[in-house]
Structures are given as C-alpha cells and as structure tokens.
C-alpha cells in the first residue's frame, strides 16, 4: 500500500530561530594554543626515548585523556572518526550559522547550505513523514519480477566517487562500485573502473574471521539487519536477516583481501561490455549497464576480476527474494540518519557502539554540520549516497575565512623545500641506475601540489536543495555526483582537480594525476603553527607533506610514470633492491602487536609505512637545509633535532577503543597511530638526537635500518 503524508512547513521566522539556536549551542570560538612548539606537558620523561618514543613524546597526554563517549577515538588534534577535528567543526558550524542567518538568494550556494541544514534539523517533519520518502523506492524493489529486473535495479544503485588507490578498504553496500579516474593506459582521459562491493560491514574479514570478536559482531549485525527491517514494517524479519547476512558472507568469500587490492598490475584488466558476459556469467550485464546509465561506455577497467565474476554468479544462484530483501535493507540502512529517530538510533547502536566502541551519539546539530562538511552519518561512516554533498560550497567559504595568503605562501615554500630534498635524496641513491633516477625526478618535475583549496570550485547549480526534504536532498546529492562523474568519461583529465574540500583534515596523493591535495584545515595546530619553531613545523606538517610526496614512489606510485601511465620504469636491479627494502619494512611492522590476538599487517600497511619513513626523512633534510647553516634555537632544553622528532611524534598522539582499533587494523591501510612515529628508529639522526644505544627496545643495528628513498 502506498502512503502519502502532507508536510506543512512551519513559520519561516520561527524555523530560522530554531536552526540558529541549534547552531549557537555549538561552540563557536576556536580554542587558542598557548604553547607554540613542543608541548612539554604532554611528554613522559620517565620513559627512555629509545624504549618507547611514542609514549616518551605523549605519555602524560595519554594518561590524562579520556575517549569521548560519542567517539571510539580521540587525538591531540581532536580528530574523530569522521576525520574532521574539533577546531574545524567549530569553524564550519560558524559558517553554517552565518548561512542560516543570511537569507541568501534562492539557488546560491549559501542558500543551499542553509536549506540543507534546515531540512536535517527539522526533526518534527522527519518524524511526521516516517517511511514515506522511501516508500516509492521500496515499492519498486518489491515489484521486481525476475533476475532481468534485478539486474536493472542493481545498476540503478551504482554510485561513484570512490578511490581504491587511496581507500583500499573501500566497500559499498551496492553490489559494485564505480570509480571515474584517469585511465591506467590512457592517463589523459577519464575511464570507468568497476570494483567489488555488496557488503555492509567494513571488510571481508568481518564475515570470514573465526575469532570470537568477529563472531560476536556478526551476530550483532544480523540483529541490526532484523531490527531495521522490523522498524520499516517488514514481516519475518529474523528469517530475512539470516538470508541477507548469508548472502553477504557469500559475497565476502569472493572479495579480494585489502592487502592484495594495492597491486596495480592485478587491477589493470580492461573488459569490453561483451567481455562481461564471457568473464562474469550468470548476470544480465547489458541490463545492469542500462540501469546505471552506462550503456554507451565501451570498456571498463575491472579492479578485482575474480570478485566481479564471483558476485555475478551469486546473482544467478541466490533466490530473487533474498536479493530484494538485501536491496531493501541497504536502502533503509543507508538513509537511517534522515529517517525517524528509531532508525538513526539503531544504526548508531551497531556501527557506532558495536563496531567503533562509542557510547553516545553526537548532538544532532553536530551531525548536521558533518553531513554538509564531509558527508558522514551519525556513526561517522560515509554516506555513499550523499558523498560530497556540499563540501566544496562550504569549503569556498572556509578557505576565504580561515586560510590566509600569508599561510599559503609559507606552506608552499615548505613544499618546495621538501620536493628539493627528495630530489637530492634521489641523486644520492647509490643503488639506483641513472635512467631510473631520471624517471623518478621527472615525476617530481611534473608533480602538481595543491595547497589550501582548488583552483576551480565545483559548480552546484544543477543540485536542487529543499528546506523541507532532507531525504530528497541526499538522494539528489548522490545522483548529482554520480551524473557529474559519468559525464566526464572519455573527456580530458583535469590534473588539478581536488578530491577533498578545504575544511577536511586530511591529505591525498593522486597517483594517476601525479598530484597532491593539501586542504587548508591541515595548516592549524598541532600540525602547523606560524609562531612555532621551524623544527616543529617541519616535523609535524612537513612530515605530512613529505608523506604525500613519497606516495609518488611507494609500491603503487612506483608503478606509474610521470604522465600517469601505468608502466614499469625501473631497471630490474633497482626494482629488486626496492622490493628487498620494502620486504624488510613489512617484517618490521608485522612484529607490532597492539591487541593480544591481532598484529599489524605489514603488507596491508606497506605503502603508508613507506610514506611515513620517506616523508620524515625528506622533511628532516628540508628542515636542516632551511637553517642555511645556522644553529637551531634550543627551546625548553630541547635541541632543534629533538624538537623536530618530537613534533612528528606529538602530532600522532591518540587513544582508541579496542573495537575502533580492531576495525582500523582489519580495514585500514595505515598503521595504528602509536606505531607511525616509531619509524624514526630507521633514521641514524634520531639515534644521535636522543642518544639511543644498543640494548634500548627500539634500537636497530645500522644494517637493519630500512632506507628506501
């Protein structure tokens, strides 16, 4: 039965007051940092730096810091699960508050931001509408008659804007995912990449691991599936949930593990539309591509061919009714944050509490800020259907307000110094052939480094936002992004295009564009402080800059040349040396065990570990060069070199729940924070700075210290 509910908008003036009050409750004044440099109060000097450098730098901060109940993770910079720190949240909340007050012209970005926020904050309207916004979509799923209809429906759920090169833990509840990016073999034009998908939990191991923790999480996930279906009015929800989880278990068995996804040579598989029928039988691919609006796309790069083939076979073998239930569940679950409170609470109970160890949800006003700022739901998980909603529109306001030309110039000078350091390090490599060195330096010569904000802002004129339709705003936002990406297929690549909005506290290296994005939000304490000594800035933000630049030469970046084309530009002996060095780094990280039953996966985290090591090495060289032969100033009894390494370590201070840490270790390509500063044990200069001697726990004999770049 189709139900239609009429929504009567409340008085506009009263509504504006409601929204303004919610945002006013959000702290607006950024906390100033009193210490410009190393925070001595965070250190624990009772610990020898050579035994545990991370706790030596951060021990007292760890002792006095509690994980907030609305997060499974906390860091010295305020980072939470949504990668947006507390200072940036306050800043962006203030900008949204101004947008709500502005009464900007209809259709303007400012008005769209205000109306989107209004639509999320109107809880009464959301409760009154109930399931009505989803009803047409659920009715369409219920009406599917056969596998032909199913193939079309699965195509209609396809979404894009994922990046397996930077999100190796990529998963999507949609059967497959689409990535639009420069082609492996034609980097001048955008091509379509098809990726494995179909699971609701973070990674295949959540379905396949036999550990007691994973069995418990699977049981809770099945309960979550049943509860969501029950809230939506379905019958026989326990039986349906069993079948849905069994289906996802079967999908997970077909998935390629995280550690293997990073091998570009295995991902470079070009299939024409005709190839899909031959290579992945059991699925009506023509109808799927028709539903996805991709009938005219001649070929795709298939990232995980075995997974695509395996999932296709499941479409043929699994009963239609199970697939319909799976589609319905994931539709409801994906939009739980904008449905009546019971749905949002239930989604938080699983993804927030069970998976991440949180105890309290963020206040609704903060969730509204996050949805606009960097689309995440109340659990901190990305809402794929709303990815990128209005982040760039808000980012334009953010960059104008919070990123000065002076800061941009100062950071760009650091970037130039660190690139120059990389060039010198390449020249000094004794094991690398001159021809390979020339190719490596060509990558540096053509590298595009964007600092602060993009040169061209995204155009949102075709994205419709209504102040009384939060579900529609997210739905249209997903389609807006998807259509924008599909429209680029076959067109020339914009190497200067940004992935992140300026207010996102993160950075990204884009191998196929040979480009890096450093958003403005990174250039605040503790990573960057204009009043801090150069040693601290180079150790903190300088290491981040070096980290991203070094991705140009990790196991993925080293497979791509200066034009973005995937090809082997290494001499055989050079590649052999590189692989031996990376194997030693894998072994080093395999030995770290933060949980009694779970060690760091050195292979899975290899590229990020390479980047940490090469990044801190180049940042140190750049710092020393910046002194121009002068002695570094001593601060708080710490030499310049000591400040540099402590700046690096203090930027990684964090605490996490066991649940959050377990999820990270199983799905993330980064090592846990406590092991990232420990890579300094590979640098001779660190030993000299802190008088680390044989017998200290972190001591490595010179021959065992890994040096890659």
604-615 pLDDT, tens digit per residue, is 999 899 999 999
pLDDT attached to residue 30: 35
Planar angle of CA 654, 660, 661, nearest 5 degrees: 65
pLDDT attached to residue 564: 86
Picking from 334, 365, 382, the residue at the C-terminal end of a domain is 334
| pLDDT per position as a tens digit, 159-196 | 765 666 554 344 567 899 999 999 999 999 999 999 99
Question: Is residue 609 one of the residues assigned to a domain?
Answer: yes
Picking from 283, 316, 334, the residue at the C-terminal end of a domain is 334
Question: Is residue 474 one of the residues assigned to a domain?
Answer: no
DSSP-derived secondary structure for 36-102: -S--GGG--TTS-TTT-HHHHHHHHHHHH----TT-SEEETT---TTS--HHHHHHHHHHHHHHHHH
User: Between the ranges 31-35, 77-81, 273-277, where is the mean pLDDT highest?
Assistant: 273-277
Per-residue pLDDT, averaged over 262-273, amounts to 89
Q: With 80 as the cut, is the pLDDT of residue 202 above it?
A: yes
Backbone angles phi, psi at 48, to 5 degrees: -75, 130
Contacts of 430 (CB under 8 A, 6+ apart): none
Per-residue pLDDT, averaged over 13-41, amounts to 52
Per-residue pLDDT, averaged over 468-477, amounts to 94
pLDDT attached to residue 385: 36
Contacts of 583 (CB under 8 A, 6+ apart): none
Domain identity same for 305 and 429: no
Per-residue pLDDT, averaged over 299-322, amounts to 97
Domain identity same for 330 and 417: no
Domain identity same for 278 and 421: no
pLDDT attached to residue 75: 84
Higher pLDDT, 5 or 110: 110
- Contact assessment for residue 28 and residue 90, using Cβ atoms and an 8 Å cutoff: yes
Report in angstroms the alpha-carbon separations of 251 from 79, 376, 425.
33, 25, 45
Domain identity same for 142 and 263: yes
Domain identity same for 330 and 421: no
- Contact assessment for residue 522 and residue 544, using Cβ atoms and an 8 Å cutoff: yes
Report residue 561's pLDDT band, with 50, 70 and 90 as the boundaries.
Answer: confident
Number of domains in the chain: 2
Contacts of 415 (CB under 8 A, 6+ apart): 449, 451, 518, 545
Say how far apart CA 254 and CA 306 lie, in whole Å: 7
Q: With 50 as the cut, is the pLDDT of residue 24 above it?
A: no
Kindly state the percentage of the chain with pLDDT values over 90. 70
Q: With 80 as the cut, is the pLDDT of residue 640 above it?
A: yes
Contacts of 381 (CB under 8 A, 6+ apart): 81, 351
CATH number at residue 656: 3.40.390.10
Question: Is residue 307 one of the residues assigned to a domain?
Answer: yes
Give the DSSP H or E segment for 193: strand 190-196
Say how far apart CA 133 and CA 119 lie, in whole Å: 13
pLDDT attached to residue 420: 96
The neighbouring-strand residues paired with 635 are: 638
Higher pLDDT, 564 or 188: 188
Domain identity same for 287 and 151: yes
Report residue 27's pLDDT band, with 50, 70 and 90 as the boundaries.
Answer: very low
| pLDDT per position as a tens digit, 268-284 | 999 999 999 999 998 99
Higher pLDDT, 548 or 265: 548
pLDDT attached to residue 71: 77
Q: With 90 as the cut, is the pLDDT of residue 15 above it?
A: no
Going through 502-652 in order, the beta strands assigned E by DSSP cover 508-510, 515-519
CATH number at residue 265: 1.10.1380.10
- Which of 63-67, 274-278, 385-389, 699-703 is least confident? 385-389
pLDDT attached to residue 163: 60
Strand 176-182 relative to strand 190-196, pairing: antiparallel
- Which of 28-37, 297-306, 490-499, 578-587 is least confident? 28-37
Question: Is residue 24 one of the residues assigned to a domain?
Answer: no
Domain identity same for 555 and 699: yes
Picking from 334, 365, 399, the residue at the C-terminal end of a domain is 334
Domain identity same for 417 and 323: no
Report residue 21's pLDDT band, with 50, 70 and 90 as the boundaries.
Answer: very low
Kindly state the percentage of the chain with pLDDT values over 70. 90
Domain identity same for 330 and 217: yes
Q: With 70 as the cut, is the pLDDT of residue 455 above it?
A: yes
Integer-rounded Cα radius of gyration of the chain: 25
Question: Is residue 38 one of the residues assigned to a domain?
Answer: no
Domain identity same for 423 and 564: yes
| pLDDT per position as a tens digit, 335-355 | 999 999 999 999 999 999 998
Say how far apart CA 551 and CA 564 lie, in whole Å: 13
3-state secondary structure of 398: helix
Report residue 262's pLDDT band, with 50, 70 and 90 as the boundaries.
Answer: confident
Say how far apart CA 407 and CA 400 lie, in whole Å: 12
| pLDDT per position as a tens digit, 659-687 | 889 988 988 889 999 999 999 999 999 99
Per-residue pLDDT, averaged over 393-403, amounts to 95
Report in angstroms the alpha-carbon separations of 170 from 155, 199, 204, 276, 668.
19, 10, 11, 22, 9
3-state secondary structure of 111: helix
Say how far apart CA 153 and CA 156 lie, in whole Å: 5
pLDDT attached to residue 591: 96
Report residue 10's pLDDT band, with 50, 70 and 90 as the boundaries.
Answer: very low
Domain assignment of residue 636, given as a range? 413-448+534-704
Name the maximum alpha-carbon separation found in the chain.
79
Per-residue pLDDT, averaged over 143-156, amounts to 97
Question: Is residue 30 one of the residues assigned to a domain?
Answer: no
Question: Is residue 17 one of the residues assigned to a domain?
Answer: no
Report in angstroms the alpha-carbon separations of 690 from 59, 222, 616.
17, 51, 16
Give the closest residue to 529 by CA, choosing from 13, 32, 3.
32
Per-residue pLDDT, averaged over 476-495, amounts to 93
Report the side by side order of strands in the sheet with 515-519: 448-452, 515-519, 508-510
Domain identity same for 431 and 294: no
pLDDT attached to residue 507: 86
Give the closest residue to 696 by CA, choosing from 51, 118, 242.
51
Domain identity same for 444 and 321: no
Mean pLDDT in the chain?
A: 88
pLDDT attached to residue 90: 87
DSSP-derived secondary structure for 626-674: HTTTPPPPPBTTB-HHHHHHHHHHHTT-EEE-HHHHHHHHHH-SSPPGG
Question: Is residue 523 one of the residues assigned to a domain?
Answer: no
Per-residue pLDDT, averaged over 368-387, amounts to 56
| pLDDT per position as a tens digit, 522-560 | 898 878 888 899 999 999 999 999 999 998 887 777 788
pLDDT attached to residue 614: 94
Contacts of 521 (CB under 8 A, 6+ apart): 84, 85, 88, 398, 402, 502, 503, 504, 505
pLDDT attached to residue 12: 35
pLDDT attached to residue 356: 81
Backbone angles phi, psi at 180, to 5 degrees: -105, 120
Q: With 70 as the cut, is the pLDDT of residue 376 above it?
A: no
């Amino acid at each position: 039965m189709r139900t239609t509910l009429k929504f009567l908008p409340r008085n506009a003036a009263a509504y504006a007051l409601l929204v303004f009050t919610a945002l006013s409750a959000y702290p607006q004044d950024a906390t100033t940092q009193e210490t410009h440099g190393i925070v001595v109060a965070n250190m624990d000097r009772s610990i020898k730096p050579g035994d545990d450098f991370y706790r030596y730098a951060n021990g007292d901060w760890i002792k006095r810091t509690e994980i907030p109940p609305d997060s499974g993770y906390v860091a010295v910079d305020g980072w939470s699960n949504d990668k947006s720190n507390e200072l940036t949240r306050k800043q962006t909340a203030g900008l949204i508050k101004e947008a709500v007050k502005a009464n900007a012209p209809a259709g303007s970005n400012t008005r769209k931001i205000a109306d989107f926020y209004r639509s999320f904050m109107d809880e009464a309207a959301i409760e009154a509408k109930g399931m009505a916004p989803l009803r047409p979509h659920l009715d369409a799923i219920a009406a599917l008659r056969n596998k032909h209809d199913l193939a079309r429906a699965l195509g209609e759920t396809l979404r894009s804007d994922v990046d397996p090169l930077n999100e190796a833990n990529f998963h999507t509840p949609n059967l497959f995912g689409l990535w639009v990016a420069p082609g492996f073999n034609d980097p001048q034009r955008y091509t379509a990449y098809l990726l494995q998908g179909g699971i609701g939990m973070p990674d295949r191991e959540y379905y396949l691991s036999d550990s007691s923790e994973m069995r418990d999480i699977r049981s809770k996930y099945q309960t979550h599936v049943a509860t969501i279906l029950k809230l939506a009015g379905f019958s026989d929800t326990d039986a349906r949930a069993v079948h849905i989880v069994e289906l996802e278990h079967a999908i997970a068995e077909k998935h390629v593990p995280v550690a293997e996804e990073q091998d570009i040579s295995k991902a470079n598989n070009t299939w024409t539309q005709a190839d899909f029928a031959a290579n992945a039988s059991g699925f009506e691919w023509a109808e799927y591509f028709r539903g996805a609006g991709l009938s005219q796309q001649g070929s795709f790069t298939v990232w995980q061919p075995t997974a695509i083939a395996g999932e296709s076979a499941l479409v043929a073998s699994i009963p239609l009714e199970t697939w319909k239930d799976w589609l319905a569940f994931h539709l409801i679950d994906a939009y739980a944050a904008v449905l009546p409170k019971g749905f949002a609470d239930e989604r938080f109970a699983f993804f927030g509490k069970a998976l991440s160890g949180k105890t309290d949800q963020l206040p609704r006003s903060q969730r509204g800020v996050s949805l606009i700022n960097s689309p995440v739901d109340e659990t901190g998980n990305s809402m794929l259907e709303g990815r990128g909603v209005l982040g760039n529109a808000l980012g334009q306001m953010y960059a104008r307000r919070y990123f000065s030309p002076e800061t941009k110039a100062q950071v760009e000078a650091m970037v130039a110094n660190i690139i120059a350091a990389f060039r010198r390090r390449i020249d000094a490599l004794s094991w690398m052939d001159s021809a390979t060195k020339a190719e490596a330096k060509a990558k540096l010569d053509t590298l595009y480094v964007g600092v602060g904000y993009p040169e061209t802002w995204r155009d949102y004129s075709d994205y419709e936002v209504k102040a009384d339709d939060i579900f529609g705003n997210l739905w249209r936002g997903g389609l807006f992004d998807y259509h924008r990406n599909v429209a680029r297929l076959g067109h020339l690549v914009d190497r200067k295009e940004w992935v992140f909005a300026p207010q996102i506290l993160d950075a990204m290296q884009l191998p196929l564009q040979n480009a890096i994005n450093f958003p403005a939000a990174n250039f605040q304490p503790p990573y960057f402080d204009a009043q801090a000594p150069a040693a601290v800035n180079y150790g903190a933000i300088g290491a981040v800059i070096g980290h991203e630049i070094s991705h140009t030469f990790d196991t993925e970046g080293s497979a791509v040349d200066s034009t973005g084309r995937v090809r082997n530009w290494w001499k055989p002996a050079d590649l052999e040396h590189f692989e031996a060095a990376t194997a030693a780094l894998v072994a080093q990280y395999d030995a770290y065990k933060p949980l009694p039953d779970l060690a760091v996966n050195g292979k899975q985290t290899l590229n990020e570990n390479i980047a940490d090591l090469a990044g801190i090495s180049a940042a140190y060289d750049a710092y020393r060069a910046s002194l121009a032969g002068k002695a570094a100033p001593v601060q708080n009894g710490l030499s310049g070199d000591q400040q540099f390494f402590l700046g690096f370590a203090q930027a990684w201070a964090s605490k996490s729940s066991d649940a959050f840490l377990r999820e990270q270790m199983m799905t993330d390509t980064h090592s846990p924070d406590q092991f990232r500063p420990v890579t300094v044990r590979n640098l001779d200069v660190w030993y000299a700075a802190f008088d680390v001697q044989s017998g200290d726990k972190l001591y490595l004999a010179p021959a065992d210290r890994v040096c890659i770049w």
